[in-house]
Structure formats: structure tokens, C-alpha cells
Amino acid sequence: MISVSIVTYHTPLAELDTCIASLDSPAVSRIYIVDNARQREVEEWASGKEKIIYIPACNDGYGAGHNIAMRRELPLHDTRYHLVMNSDMQFSPAILTAIKTFMDAHPDAGTLQPHMTGRDGDVQYPARQLPSPADVLIRRFFPSGWFKDMRARYLLTHLDRSVAWDIPSHQGSFMFLRKDALREIGLFDERFFMYAEDIDLTRRIHARYRTPYWPGATVMHYHRAASYHSVRMLMVHIVNLIRYFNKWGWIFDRDRAVVNSSIKPYR
């Protein structure tokens, strides 16, 4: 069975309806709505809905919100997996069973990221190399036509997306996590308020497990990219990337080159 957590912050109820419809699967046992805005309308929306557990939170961050749910889940043994997901996701509920079946057959997989597309079917690249400061700087602040080779290498756009790959950095919009891996590795690092917490967690899991991108399931991600539209969120993004590089290393990240050079098909 699978538990799920969704962190909300002034999230439209229509978006939550769409998101929850994607979780209408017998494989899902519990859905935690961690409301960082403590909105009465979200609490009322959640009230009485089967499988949904509403938790008002204090907005200590994206990872911290999911950690609230995962701390409740880890002592429970009726679920083997926990899905961290954004509210702006949509997919067929049947893919959850497909992913669970894949993970059951691959006990060395600590977390999985499926194939991801945008609203118009455009391919997204949420499974990436571990970033260097240059990767982040170029992607965020330079025109898209500049440094094309570096961008492609970071996003791994050259990989055949019809093949499963063992990739060390997953985006936090959809992370299908093995609970035993979380018990061993730990949860999101709450020093990261938002952004980079997903890179950090996948990287820690990748050190002891494999972390596949799997094209056997496809999800749609609306991907607001808030830091591209809000100065405040841009500053949040920058601060948390600084924290990430302070933790793992800027120029001298001992393991980054080794991990990135060892990306290979997942079999």
C-alpha cells in the first residue's frame, strides 16, 4: 500500500480536486493534506473525505511540511511506500499500481521518478545531474540560447527517455519513496525552506540505493515555476541553493563528478 502527502499554501480547491482524483486507487491507504496556510476552506474541503487526513501546519517550508506526514507514516507498517507530490499534478490512478509493482520487483530502488510532461504534452526533465553552481547560474539567469551544451548535460536531455536510468537528482513534485529507505537515510533536511531539498534527499538516498527515472509511468505537471515570476520566490530559491552548496561543496564537491559520471541505464 501507498501513503501520500501534499503540502498546500493558498492552493485552489479546484486544483486539489483534480489532484485527489489522480489518487483514486485501491493502492492508496492515506492522503495527508498538510496545509501551510491553515485555511478554513481547505479544512472544510478535506472534512469527511475518505482517506484524507488534514493537518494544519506553520509554514516551516515544503520539506518540513512533508516531514510532518512522513513522521506519522514511518512507524506504520501497513504501507511500504510514500508518495511526495505537488498539488499541480495529474495522472491516471492506475500508474500508482504500476509504479508499486515496479518498486516491489526492484528492492534496490529507494525512490522513483516517472516520465513527466507539461500541460501541452511537452517533455519535462525533472531527473537531472547533481548541479554545480555554474549549472544553476546558467539555467536561472542566462538566456535559454546560451550555453546549450551545459544546459543539456545538466538536464540529461541526451538520454533516451524510453529507457530507465539511475539518476541522482529528482524533482520534488513527484517522489515515490520507499519507506525503508527513509527510515535509513532520514527525511527532508529542514534547513531548506523550499527548493534544493529534493536534490539533497535524492542524493542521500542515491548513496545507498538506486534512484531510477522510469518511463513506464507518465504524469502531467503544470509546473508553476514560481521563482521565475516572483522576486520573493527568486530570493527563496537563491538562499536555499546557497545552503545546498554550503552543505555539499561549491567548487570542491568531492562526490559530484563521480556520481554524475556514473549515470547509467537502470536494469
Residue of higher predicted confidence among 225 and 221: 221
Amino acid residing at 250: W
Tens digits of residue pLDDT in 127-182: 999 999 999 898 877 777 788 888 999 999 999 999 999 999 999 999 999 999 99
Strand duo 111-117 + 264-265: pairing: unpaired
Q: Where do we find the cell 502531467?
A: 220
Contacting residues for 104 by C-beta, under 8 A, at least 6 apart: 80
Give the Cα separation of 253 and 136 in Å (integer). 15
Question: Of 17-31, 63-77, 226-240, which range is least confident?
Answer: 226-240
Q: Taking residues 87-108, what's their average pLDDT?
A: 97
Q: Taking residues 40-55, what's their average pLDDT?
A: 95
Asked if pLDDT for residue 228 goes beyond 70, the answer is no
Phi then psi for 54, rounded to 5 degrees? Answer: -90, 130
Asked if pLDDT for residue 59 goes beyond 80, the answer is yes
* pLDDT at site 209: 98
Q: Look over the chain and give the mean of its residue pLDDT values, rounded to a whole number.
A: 93
C-alpha cell at 100: 508499486
Q: Provide the percentage of residues in the chain whose pLDDT is more than 70.
A: 97
Give the Cα separation of 119 and 264 in Å (integer). 29
| H or E element at residue 231 | helix 231-248
Give the Cα separation of 158 and 156 in Å (integer). 5
C-alpha cell at 197: 531539498
Asked if pLDDT for residue 187 goes beyond 70, the answer is yes
* b/e per residue 42-71 (b: at least 16 CB within 10 A): beebbeeeeebebbebeeebbbbbbbbbbe
Residues listed for the chain: 267
Asked if pLDDT for residue 223 goes beyond 80, the answer is no
Amino acid residing at 172: G
Question: Of 17-26, 138-147, 153-162, 240-249, which range is least confident?
Answer: 138-147
Give the Cα separation of 202 and 25 in Å (integer). 26
C-alpha cell at 140: 536561472
Asked whether the whole model's pTM tops 0.85, one would answer: yes
* pLDDT at site 84: 98
